[in-house]
Amino acid sequence: MKLRAARLVTSMGFALGLALASLPAFSRDADTVVAAFSAETTTLDPARSSGTVDRFYYFHLFEMLVIPDSKGNMSPWLATKWEVGEKDGKAYIDVWLRDDVRFHNGDPMTAQDVEFSWQRQRDPKVSLTASRHRNVEGFEIFNDHYFRINFKQPDGNYLAEYLQIVVMPKRYFEKVGSMEAFGAKPVGTGPWKFVSREIKRELNLTRNDDYWNAKNGPKAKNLTIKIIPEDLTRVSALRAGEVDWIDNVPLPLISEFKADKRFNTFSVQNGNFVYLDFPSHNKALPFAKLPVRQAIAHGFDMDAILKVVLYGEGNRFAGIGTDSNAYDPNLKPYEFDPAKSRELLAKAGYPNGLDIPCYSLTTPREPNIKEVSEAIYAYLQQAGIRCQIRAVEFGAWLDLLRRANPPHLDGLSIHMSAQGIPSDPGNSWSSSALHSYAPEIGFGTFSQTADPKADEYVQKIQQIMDMEKRRLLIQEAARYRQEQVLGGISLYQPRTTYAWNKRIDFTPWAYPGYWHLFQLVDIVD
């Protein structure tokens, strides 16, 4: 019986192995590019969007009037040109549209569609980002391809964020009759048309053969975007040939992928910037004193942390990110100088150092963010700033930073937020990082700062609609921010790496912030 059992097990295993080996592990359509994204959108309706991840998806279907060029400046897209003007003391922007753009259902794109899109995006019952349109008074339509956006008060942020409007089809929306129906089968002007979607699994798209910008459109016929949240599974799926393209290659594997001839890679600074924040607005805490803030700024070796903890995959910067159109190369990061930190602490009245709470974010919103913060806190120990590390998950961390309700931040915390990249940080400074807390106008929601001069800068920046003047003022504000160590200490911009196999010819779209967009892709093998 012993022998029979052993034989039985062996033959079953052998048969199973043979059966598995004789079949392909997966089957795929020769005309389909299969990409794997690590995060999933909750909506394909641009007006319902609540975060960057949504854009990775809906920008395949929808487009904006203008998009950023390689330097982050406004560049024509669905709009051919725009002009800022002033009438009766009020600002306006005249916009001319292309006349050769059609939605996926064949309807031509007109100024009525743009106005309808604006109405949806400014309606707080529909849109979570309605406040971005709060300074717009209304539209004046002169003809199908020429209209005016009138402002209640000047809003430079509107221009800096590329006119904000994502264009949706008015007639189609009215025909399908509801937000849910539109979200379930969205129609836009983009290079890809919607086919089907299965939540937690995949999004299927097909090429828009009537795309107005066919020269800059995809050659591949179909695109399937799979959702694979686990890093190693996503990497394995690419290595096994089950997908053609992946985002967010894990940090320890980037060099391996770059050396592997079977794959192409592309590394880029992502739109977030990471900074160390502290409640300088609270006069009862040591952070209200400038020498304490300076001591913290000089108390850790960010270059070493980037090299070791982030495998070099992050760009150090001061003030404003290097790929922002307001970047100032003359502004240098704080130097690591623990002796100077101790001197500054003594000057501030803490000759024996400081004991403070230091919050570490456990949710990996950026690669190794927890480890980065803990490395900083360890360095600060040498400089006389003794951290009591407290780990918090993302939700609790948001509650801590959001100024509206307690608990309030009482120590150091790592922080990351978009800085308007590739544009400028005007909106980010007003809404979260630099302007003091002013809930009635939606300013300073996450701000740990209360400085009248910084407020003045931020308010002026918002009102300037001359983009060159705005850029210069932002650079001036950035210098003030750096000198006063306000609005946090800029640490680095994380780098993200994408990888794809030789089956496809993928060109990362030239426009910053659109790295997940399959605008230029073909199947070559």
Partner 1 sequence: MWTYILKRLLHGLFSIIGASLLIFVITRLTGDPVAMLLPPEATEEMVRQMRATLGLDRPIWEQYLIFASHALQGDLGMSYRWEMPALTLLLDRLPATIQLASAGLLFSISVAVPLGVLSAVYRGSWIDRVGKTLAMAGQAMPNFWVGLILILVFSVSLGWLPAYGSGSFRHLILPAIALGSYPVAAQTRIVRSSMLDVLDSDYIKMGRILGASESVLVWKYAFRNAAVPLITVLGVYFAAMLGGTFVVEVIFAWPGVGRTVVEAVFARDFPVVQAGVLFTSVVFVTVNLLVDLSYGVIDPRARVNV
Contact 272, 417 (CB under 8 A): yes
Interface pick for partner 1 out of 98, 102, 221, 402 (rule CB under 8 A): 402
Task: Give CA angle at 39 (369, 316), nearest 5°.
Answer: 35
Contact between 65 and 162 under an 8 Å Cβ cutoff? The reply is: yes
CB of 432 to partner 1, least distance (A): 4
Is 446 a binding residue for partner 1 by CB under 8 A? The answer is yes
**Residue of 73, 267, 363, 484 interacting with partner 1 (CB under 8 A):** 363
For residues 276 and 322, give the distance between their C-alpha atoms in angstroms, rounded to a whole number.
18
Which C-beta is closer to partner 1: that of 268 or that of 438? 438
If one asks whether residue 226 binds partner 1 (CB under 8 A), the answer comes out as yes
CA distance 382 to 296: 11
In angstroms, give the least distance from the CB of 417 to partner 1. 7
Count of all residues that appear for the chain in the document: 525
Contact between 200 and partner 1 (CB under 8 A)?
yes
Query: Site map for partner 1, 142-181, x if CB under 8 A?
Result: -------------------------------------xx-
The site map against partner 1 for 238-277 (x = CB under 8 A) is -xxxx-----------------------------------
The tokens 């209304």 sit on which residue? Answer: 138
258 vs 402 by CB, closer to partner 1: 402
484: exposed, middle or buried (Cβ count in 10 Å: 0-12, 13-18, 19+): middle
Span interacting with partner 1, options 318-326, 340-348, 379-387, 423-431, rule CB under 8 A: 423-431
Q: Which is nearer to partner 1, 373 or 430 (CB)?
A: 430
H or E stretch covering 418? strand 412-418
Alpha helices in 228-337 (DSSP H): 231-239, 254-259, 290-297, 302-309
Give CA separation, 127 vs 46, 51, 139, 179, 409, in Å: 9, 12, 18, 11, 29
DSSP symbol at 102? B
Q: How many binding residues for partner 1 (CB under 8 A)?
A: 66
If the CB atoms of residues 34 and 306 are measured against partner 1, the closer one turns out to be: 34
- Cβ neighbors of 65 (< 8 A, separation 6 or more) are 77, 78, 79, 82, 95, 97, 114, 162, 163, 165, 167
Closest CA to 163 of 217, 270, 84: 84
Among 261, 284, 405, 406, binds partner 1 (CB under 8 A): 405
- Rank residues 86 and 393 by Cβ distance to partner 1 and give the closer one: 393
Determine, following the binding rule CB under 8 A, whether residue 32 of this chain makes contact with partner 1. Answer: no
Considering only CA atoms, which of 130, 158, 134 is closest in space to residue 50? 130
Question: Where along the sequence are the contacts to partner 1 (CB under 8 A)?
Answer: 1-2, 5, 9, 17, 20-21, 23, 25-26, 42-43, 48, 50, 124-125, 128-132, 134, 179-180, 183, 198-201, 226-230, 232-234, 236-237, 239-242, 363, 393-396, 398-399, 402, 404-405, 417, 427-428, 430-432, 439-443, 445-446
